[in-house]
């Protein structure tokens, strides 16, 4: 009889599971100067990711088949991810993907690399064609009132912690900080690592998923004091705004 899983991985997709950020690459490819301006505003934290998605999706051609083809062509999986998934299954641990990008390409990319069936759950945004033929981003996993994130990654972390499972968060982006800061162990690189340093939080640096296989597993801990948001409450804490 298999033992009950005692911890959960919550993993970002773009730039984490993939070596490249497909949402940003699509935006840069089709968006031109408007993309650059919007991206700079996001990097300066003048606008949240939810607004970034709303503005950038207007710059994409309204052809999901074309965009999916580009995504499949460009996507590269970070080394060790397949072995990491096999190890997680062996240890009976839960693997959740939580993405705040355009979302539509995640399952096709994982299926291309024969990884989709090894993931327990995917929480993502969706990009659809609207009534007027243009694209729009749908955010089914957003907080009810918070305007910062399209996908409330913090809620996925907190829900698993409430079920008694310590959470290991794996990410690379600035927006990952909302979920990561609630987790019991942060595996960070790039802008997520910078955010951890900014808030004086410890984290485990990593290059590929082979590193993460070997990391020590955490115990449950109370992370409410240094969290940036309240996924069970009003969302982003007032003192942080969209920072």
211 Cβ partners below 8 Å, 6+ apart?
80, 187, 204
Distance of CA 23 to the CA centre of its chain: 12
Average pLDDT, the chain: 94
Banded model confidence at residue 241, pLDDT cuts 50, 70, 90: low
- Residue keyed to tokens 């939810």: 50
Average pLDDT over residues 172-193: 97
**Alpha-carbon distances of 236 from 13, 44, 159, 232, rounded to whole Å:** 22, 17, 17, 10
- Residue keyed to tokens 């809620």: 155
**pLDDT by residue (tens digit) across 146-169?**
999 999 999 999 999 999 999 999
The answer to whether the CB of 97 falls within 8 A of the CB of 91 is no
pTM for the whole structure: 0.94
Examine the pLDDT at 221 and tell me if it is beyond 80: yes
Report pLDDT for 5: 57
**pLDDT by residue (tens digit) across 77-97?**
999 999 999 999 999 999 999
Banded model confidence at residue 4, pLDDT cuts 50, 70, 90: low
How much of the chain exceeds pLDDT 70, in percent?
Answer: 96
- Give the pair of three-digit tokens for residue 45: 């934290």
Report pLDDT for 2: 47
The answer to whether the CB of 95 falls within 8 A of the CB of 119 is yes
Examine the pLDDT at 23 and tell me if it is beyond 70: yes
Examine the pLDDT at 185 and tell me if it is beyond 70: yes
- Give 3-state DSSP helix, strand, coil % of the chain, rounded to 5: 40, 15, 45
- Give the pair of three-digit tokens for residue 88: 């997680």
**DSSP readout, 87-148?**
HHHHTT-EEEEE--S--TTHHHHHHHTT-GGG-SEEE--EEEE-TTS-EEEE-TTS-SS--S
* CATH entry 3.40.50.1000 includes domain 8-236: yes
Examine the pLDDT at 243 and tell me if it is beyond 50: no
Question: Per DSSP, which regions of 44-103 are E strands?
Answer: 94-98
Report pLDDT for 131: 81
Report pLDDT for 231: 95
Residue among 232, 96, 94, 229 nearest 164 (CA): 94
Report pLDDT for 236: 87
Report pLDDT for 237: 87
Assign 156 to helix, strand or coil.
Answer: helix
How much of the chain exceeds pLDDT 90, in percent?
Answer: 92
Report pLDDT for 132: 86
């Amino acid at each position: 009889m298999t033992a009950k899983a005692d911890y959960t991985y919550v993993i970002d997709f773009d730039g984490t599971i993939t070596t490249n950020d497909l949402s940003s690459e699509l935006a840069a490819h089709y968006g031109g100067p408007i993309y650059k301006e919007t991206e700079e505003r996001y990097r300066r934290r003048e606008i949240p990711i939810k607004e970034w998605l709303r503005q950038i999706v207007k710059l994409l051609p309204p052809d999901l088949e074309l965009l999916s083809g580009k995504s499949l062509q460009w996507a590269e999986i970070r080394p060790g991810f397949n072995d990491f998934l096999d190890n997680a299954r062996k240890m009976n641990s839960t693997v959740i993907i939580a993405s705040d990008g355009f979302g539509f390409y995640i399952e096709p990319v994982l299926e291309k690399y024969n990884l989709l069936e090894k993931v327990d759950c995917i929480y993502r945004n969706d990009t659809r064609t609207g009534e007027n033929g243009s694209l729009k981003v749908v955010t089914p996993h957003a907080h009810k009132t918070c305007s910062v994130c399209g996908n409330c990654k913090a809620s996925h972390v907190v829900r698993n912690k409430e079920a008694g499972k310590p959470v290991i968060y794996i990410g690379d982006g600035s927006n990952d900080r909302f979920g990561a800061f609630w987790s019991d162990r942060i595996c960070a690189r790039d802008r997520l690592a910078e955010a951890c340093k900014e808030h004086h939080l410890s984290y485990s640096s990593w290059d590929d998923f082979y590193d993460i296989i070997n990391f020590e597993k955490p115990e449950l801990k109370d992370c409410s004091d240094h969290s940036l948001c309240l996924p069970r409450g009003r969302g982003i804490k007032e003192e942080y705004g969209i920072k």
